[in-house]
A = this chain, B = another copy of it.
Amino acid sequence: MTPSTLDDGALAAATDEREPGLLGRLGGATAFWMALVLFGLVALFSAISPQNAFLNVGNFFTIALNASQLTLLALGMTYLLGARQLDLSIAANVVLASILSAKTITALMPAPGGNALGAILCGMVVALVAGTLFGLVNGLLVTRLKLSSFLATLATSTIGLGAALVITSGANVPGLPRVLQTSFGIYRIGGVVPVPVVIALAAAAVLWFFLAKTRFGVRTLAIGSAPEAARRAGIAVDRQLMTLFGMMGFLCGLTAILDISRFATTNIGGHQTDAMQAIAAAVIGGTSLFGGSASVVGAVIGALIPVVLGTGLVIMRVDSFYQLIAVGLIVIVAVAIDQRRRAGQA
């Protein structure tokens, strides 16, 4: 018997240079699908809500305003998850930063009627610095002491909250200048766009750019995808993680600023579920809990979905107990379909 060539398929000539890998890795497909879900919800609520209560620009921006703090936190969490880390201490960080900031402002406040601008700016700087430092402490625990970020940030969460309570004796800081609220926290640029929304969107744009376009983003995902490989490739993993935790802290500081300026007071007890919500927003948006893939756009959408749902269901006068059930079911359905869609493609 002689060797027999049976067929000789032509060479697939065209090489394919699209970037499915990139899109997939940046969770693009899931983010896209979740954006559809989001628009579907908006359309649904618009259609069935009485008196067009849902469908109007003012309401959309109110929703965006209510999602702005969560968006900031979800952005930082997206980077951390992309690098196979997480931060459970963000609530404590926000509380601590807001308290320090509020204390600073009230301490520096001029006599009533004076210009509070200086005090407010100092307060904001304090919030950002405190938040960033808190984040860097987390980073140190993870990189130097080699604690898992879960345990490290769980512990600093407790410590940070304890510190906040010690500083304030447990009471919210009173006496913040009202102008902080009226001309910043709830001020609407052009009467339409609330300042916190602008800040959140700006942060999202910057962080999207860095994740999708720069070395910084690639290295973050490399660390999450294969920490060993990243280290062996000579990436300064520890420094990168420090930056990421510091960045998360900075975003906590920013959130703290929005918090005190929206509500003109601190809210020590009110952030308990922030970490979970931020993680959930990131994951719903297509970021992997196990690192290597992350989506900034998805995080924004993931932060918006629960707020849209909540607002829509309130407008529909759905009893709040049934709201809980509805939110849970919608998340399951949306994510399950996304899952099936992706499985079908692979």
A residues at B contact (CB < 8 Å): 88, 141, 145-148, 150-152, 154-159, 161-163, 165-166, 170, 272, 276, 279-280, 283-284, 289-290, 319, 321-329, 331-332, 335-336, 339-340, 343
Contact = CB atoms under 8 A, between A and B. Distances in A.
Contacts of A163: 325
Contacts of A326: 162
A284 B151 contact: yes
Contact of A324 (B151, B162, B323, B332): B162
Contacts of A325: 158-159, 162-163, 166
Contacts of A166: 319, 321-322, 325
Contacts of A170: 321
Given A283-B150, A322-B162, A145 B328 contact: no
B159 A280 contact: no
Contact of A162 (B141, B328, B331): B328
Contacts of A152: 332
A325 B160 CA distance: 7
A161 B329 contact: no
Q: Which of A157, A159, A290, A340 has the most CB of B within 10 A?
A: A159
18 contacts: A146-B339, A146-B340, A147-B335, A147-B336, A148-B289, A150-B280, A151-B332, A152-B332, A155-B329, A157-B328, A158-B331, A159-B325, A162-B323, A162-B324, A166-B319, A166-B321, A166-B322, A290-B290
Contacts of A340: 145-146
Nearest to A150: B289
A151 B323 contact: no
A339 to B, nearest CB: 5
- A interface: dominant SS: helix
Q: Top 7 closest A-B pairs, CB basis?
A: A162-B324, A159-B328, A158-B328, A162-B325, A165-B321, A145-B336, A155-B328
A324 B283 contact: no
A145 B332 CA distance: 9
A91 to B, nearest CB: 11
A269 to B, nearest CB: 12
B328 A151 contact: no
A150 B162 CA distance: 28
B332 A141 contact: yes
A185 B170 CA distance: 34
Nearest to A154: B280
A280 B284 CA distance: 24
A159 B289 contact: no
A170 B326 CA distance: 17
Contacts of A156: 328, 332
Q: Which of A88, A145, A289, A328 has the most CB of B within 10 A?
A: A328
A328 B158 CA distance: 6
Contacts of A327: 155, 158
B146 A343 contact: yes
Contacts of A155: 327-329, 331-332, 335
